[in-house]
Chains A and B, each alone.
Chain A
Amino acid sequence: DGGITQSPKYLFRKEGQNVTLSCEQNLNHDAMYWYRQDPGQGLRLIYYSQIVNDFQKGDIAEGYSVSREKKESFPLTVTSAQKNPTAFYLCATQPGGSGYNEQFFGPGTRLTVL
């Protein structure tokens, strides 16, 4: 069953704790992305990766970190330095990097920091 898996669907953490959001894909897509969605603000790019062991900052990378050790996996860590981490986080993939190709999205993780 091909697709993008994000786990968990809901995540609660105490303020000051780091938390890692999982994103796994079996679509064999090269590029992977992390977006943050807040009410009334659309989606904003946090980090993206076009190939294994390489990634670039997006527009709102401060307080976040990523790794891309395997093609299938692109975990996002929300660190304690992120001032307002409560949000809906979406992972996306794209075949072959730039171009007309669409991005495919996972089901998302809702993070709530208490």
Chain B
Amino acid sequence: AQTVTQSQPEMSVQEAETVTLSCTYDTSESDYYLFWYKQPPSRQMILVIRQEAYKQQNATENRFSVNFQKAAKSFSLKISDSQLGDAAMYFCAYRTYNTDKLIFGTGTRLQVFP
């Protein structure tokens, strides 16, 4: 069965610093998509960044970037120059090419301190 593991229930970072959130997944598929979603206190889920498995280049969206290691089945999220508004739950998610099912990890709660 495909699973997504986020081993850090909570993380904290100081404003303007960099933090990395970990995500590993288990799959026998070779083609799939990976996503990071943010859920702030409002509980509105927002897509942060996404990656296609066949692309070797790591995705980047402004201050957010990923370190995608396909062989290790690892998909970590790096947040640079952290801001107070980055405080939220972050969920890693996985989907294969031929399915509509998103499989979510259990989330990492990120706190940002001034």
Contact = CB atoms under 8 A, between A and B. Distances in A.
Interface string A79-114: 000000000101010100111101111011000000
Given A59-B101, A94-B100, 6 more contacts: A33-B102, A40-B9, A40-B106, A42-B107, A100-B33, A100-B50
Contact of B98 (A42, A44, A98): A98
B91 interface: yes
A92 B99 CA distance: 15
14 contacts: A33-B100, A33-B102, A42-B91, A43-B91, A50-B100, A59-B101, A98-B95, A98-B100, A99-B97, A100-B33, A100-B52, A104-B47, A105-B44, A105-B46
Interface string B22-50: 00000000000101010000111111001
A21 interface: no
A59 B100 CA distance: 12
Contacts of A50: 100
Interface residues of B, number: 25
A16 interface: no
A97 B100 contact: yes
A7 to B, nearest CB: 15
Contacts, number: 53
Interface residues of A, number: 26
Interface of A: 31, 33, 40-45, 48, 50, 58-59, 88, 90, 92, 94, 97-100, 102-105, 107-108
B102 A103 contact: yes
Contacts of B107: 40, 42
Which of A31, A58, A102 neighbours the largest number of chain B CB atoms within 10 Å of its CB? A102
